[in-house]
Amino acid sequence: MVKFTPTEIPDVVLVEPDVWQDPRGFFVETYHAGKYRAAGIGADFVQDNHSFSSVRGTLRGLHAQVHHPQGKLVHALLGEIWDVAVDLRPGSPTFKRWVARTLSGDNHHQLYVPPGCVHGLCVTSESAHVQYKCTDLYHPGDEIVVAWNDPELAIPWPVGKPVLNDRDRDAPRLSEILDRLQVWKVE
């Protein structure tokens, strides 16, 4: 039976699917709408993404969209990642708190990151293939990026000098974009 465990941010859920293994390999059901809805993840997923990181220490994030916020169901197909979600919904009891879980091709765990959270990951294996389902389409002009090393968030990433692209390297601190997040305000 699939296990759904709320994290320290209750809307961020660790999913541990059933895995059937035998000498040939394994089979895992990576998504079942009815089971996920029954567990409180009633999202309608509209886009699947697959990223490949070819270097240990690659860090992607922290990303989100403001007016088209995406819930994400993330899992590593091959390799291992340290997956992070930060609650940036003003008024939320867990505002500015982060959670992280290790997702790998071996443990088959998934992390559901709800709309209103920024998401990031760090590759902790030699390389990693990551797939994630999204609840809204990608809108490049709507995206925000928060500095991965923002001292206000104090995320203890498992890498000292990550491999970053220019966008993530030059990302603003949360305090610089906080006014844009008022659309996510929780009453």
Rg over alpha carbons for the chain, rounded to the nearest Å, is 16
Q: Is 146 in contact with 173 (CB distance < 8 Å)?
A: yes
> Catalytic: 132?
yes
Q: Kindly name the residue from 31, 50, 63, 112 that is annotated as catalytic.
A: 63
Parallel, antiparallel or unpaired: strands 143-145 and 59-65: antiparallel
Q: Kindly name the residue from 36, 108, 112, 132 that is annotated as catalytic.
A: 132
Q: Could you give the CA distance from residue 187 to residue 179 in angstroms, rounded to a whole number? A: 16
Q: Is 51 in contact with 75 (CB distance < 8 Å)?
A: no
Residue given tokens 């609650």 in the structure block: 87
Q: What distance lies between CA 117 and its chain's CA centroid?
A: 8
Residue whose C-alpha is closest to residue 95's, from 4, 13, 5, 181: 181
Residue whose C-alpha is closest to residue 63's, from 123, 9, 124, 119: 119
Q: What is the DSSP letter of 91?
A: T
> Catalytic: 75?
no
Residues with active-site annotation: 63, 132
